[in-house]
């Protein structure tokens, strides 16, 4: 049973419907005790990093997620949820994150190295480039997925399972052990997104059986 974290800023219906299409059981909760019973956690998110962290802390969900990850439970962060996995963000001034993956969230500059202006936010379909082997991308061929974001992760290459290019290299899938993140919306990314979610579910199921 997958627990979807409800802290007031996630696209909960979209994620739950995506899991339903894959035949996965899930529940939505803001209760750490209830979420601790989940076999895997999904942390969605849309909006401001600072506001999201404030809400997570208010409900004790920040410490819960840190304990859950430390105990070996699989966590998947989606969009803002992925960004929250990192140490900090420069959005609206420095704000501390969950520190589950080393790195910082920074804003697209809107002008590339050649001086050409590009649109922010990054919105639309971009092709993934697989970089480092990860169970979440196992058996898949890179394809396009759907992004909507103005900030991206500045992190060590070792944690980047897949990237895309939007003026700069953008970490699209990040992984550090049992902590995973997708900057795009897999539930809105057609067959590719569903395949990635299916692989995440397989990871959770494997953990449950071991």
Q: Is 79 left (phi over 0), alpha (psi -120 to 50) or beta?
A: left
Point out the catalytic residue in the list 91, 122, 149, 185: 185
> Catalytic site residue 79?
yes
Q: 37, 63, 79, 141: which one is catalytic?
A: 79
Closest Cα to residue 34, out of 1, 71, 80, 74?
1
Q: Which candidate in 34, 187, 205, 208 is catalytic?
A: 187
The per-residue b/e assignment along 51-69, b for 16 or more CB within 10 angstroms, e otherwise, is: bbbbbbeebebbebbeebb
Active site residue 141: no
189: DSSP letter:
S
Q: Give exposure, 114-143, as e/b (b: 16+ Cβ within 10 Å).
A: eeeeeebebeeebebebbeebebbeebeee
Verify whether residue 37 is a known catalytic residue.
no
Buried residues in 9-42 as b, exposed as e (16+ CB within 10 A): bbbbeebbebbeeeebebebbbebeebeebebbb
Active-site amino acid positions: 79, 185, 187
């Amino acid at each position: 049973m997958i627990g979807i974290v409800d802290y007031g800023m996630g696209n909960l219906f979209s994620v739950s419907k995506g899991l339903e299409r894959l035949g996965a059981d899930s529940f939505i909760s803001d209760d750490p005790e209830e979420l601790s019973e989940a076999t895997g956690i999904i942390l969605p998110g849309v909006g401001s990093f600072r506001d999201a962290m404030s809400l997570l802390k208010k409900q004790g969900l920040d410490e819960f997620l840190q304990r859950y990850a430390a105990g070996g439970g699989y966590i998947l962060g989606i969009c803002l949820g992925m960004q929250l996995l990192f140490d900090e963000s420069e959005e609206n001034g420095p704000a501390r994150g969950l520190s589950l993956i080393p790195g910082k969230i920074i804003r697209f500059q809107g002008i590339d190295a050649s001086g050409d202006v590009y649109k922010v936010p990054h919105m639309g379909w971009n092709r993934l480039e697989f970089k480092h082997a990860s169970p979440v991308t196992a058996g898949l061929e890179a394809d396009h997925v759907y992004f909507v974001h103005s900030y991206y992760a500045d992190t060590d290459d070792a944690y980047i399972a897949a990237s895309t290019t939007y003026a700069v290299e953008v970490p699209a899938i990040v992984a550090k052990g049992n902590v995973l993140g997708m900057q795009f919306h897999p539930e809105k990314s057609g067959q590719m997104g569903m395949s990635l979610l299916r692989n995440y579910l397989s990871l959770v199921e494997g953990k449950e059986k071991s």
